[in-house]
Structure formats: C-alpha cells, structure tokens
C-alpha cells in the first residue's frame, strides 16, 4: 500500500456568520472574519489517495485522471468564487478550513478511478490547515 498526493490551488472569498446571532455576537465569535463584504485566500488543496502500485505502469492512480477529477469537482466550483454566496454546501455552514476539507472529501469520494481517497488537506494560509480522513 502506498499513498500518492497531488496539490492544487484555488483563490476564493469567504466570511463567517451565524444568522441566529446578532452582529455583536458574530463579531465576538469571528472577529475580522465576520466582515460580510468578504475577504479571501489562496487555498492549497492536497488530495491523498491510497492503493497498490500497478506493476505495469508503476502508478497507484492515473495522475491525469486524478488531476481532471480535482479540477472538475473542486477547482471549477471554488476558484475565483465567493464560497458563501456561490457554493451550495456553504449556504448553511461557514466555509471554515475544517468545513472546506469535509466538503471537498464529499465532492471527491468515489470519483477517483482505481484508488481510495485517503486524506483531504486544505491550507487556508501557509500557517493554518485542516486534514479530513472521512468517516
């Protein structure tokens, strides 16, 4: 068993807000992230798949197919978007680094030919990242 990880990037806007709270409560909980004009990040996504090495090709996964799935399922939906306003899974849940990792897992799960999704890592900034392993 071996793990293979590929990175991709997307640039997006977001803010944190809880509709059930007052503006004061939102500011207290989320600080500068509660600014509803939004702010943004260059997100880095690492997708790790697990599998056996194919003795004919030497690959765990076809890299072109993996790249295409990541592009189609994630980057096309998130890049140059406002996550709260344009991405359905964040209508009701804050697009925190944690929630983005879970959402990307759900977008990718079962769609990678010949390998098992093992981990989704999302960096919001170089000094902050979340890991999700499913389940």
Active site residues: 33, 80, 124
Cβ at position 46, least distance to its own copies in Å: 9
Shortest distance in whole angstroms from residue 103 CB to its own copies: 11
Nearer to its own copies, 110 or 135 (CB): 135
Shortest CB 111 distance to its own copies, Å: 19
Q: Which is nearer to its own copies, 73 or 101 (CB)?
A: 101
Instruction: By CB under 8 A, name the binding residues for its own copies.
Output: 1-9, 11-14, 16, 18, 20, 29-33, 35, 37-42, 48, 53, 55-60, 63-64, 79-82, 85-86, 93-99, 101-102, 125-133, 135
Q: Residue 52 in contact with residue 2, Cβ under 8 Å?
A: yes
CA distances from 121 to 47, 76, 84 (A): 7, 18, 20
Kind of pairing between the strands at 81-82 and 2-14: parallel
CB of 110 to its own copies, least distance (A): 20
Nearest of 50, 60, 48, 46 to residue 7 by alpha carbon: 46
Comparing CA positions, the residue from 94, 82, 77 lying closest to residue 38 is 82
Q: Which is nearer to its own copies, 3 or 23 (CB)?
A: 3
Closest CA to 120 of 103, 101, 92: 101
Rounded CA gap, 59 and 13, in Å? Answer: 35
Closer residue to its own copies in complex, CB, 5/72: 5
């Amino acid at each position: 068993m071996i793990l293979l990880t590929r990175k991709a990037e997307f640039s997006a806007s977001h803010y944190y807000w809880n509709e059930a709270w007052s503006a004061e409560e939102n500011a207290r909980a989320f600080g500068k992230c509660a600014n509803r004009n939004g702010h943004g990040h260059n997100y880095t996504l690492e997708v790790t798949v697990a599998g056996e090495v194919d003795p004919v090709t030497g690959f765990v996964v076809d890299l072109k197919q993996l790249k295409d799935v990541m592009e189609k399922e994630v980057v096309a939906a998130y890049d140059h978007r406002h996550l709260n306003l344009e991405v359905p899974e964040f209508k009701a849940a804050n697009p925190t680094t944690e929630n983005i990792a879970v959402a990307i897992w759900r977008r990718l799960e079962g769609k990678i030919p010949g390998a098992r999704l093992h981990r989704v890592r999302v960096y919001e900034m170089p000094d902050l990242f979340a890991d999700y392993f499913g389940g």
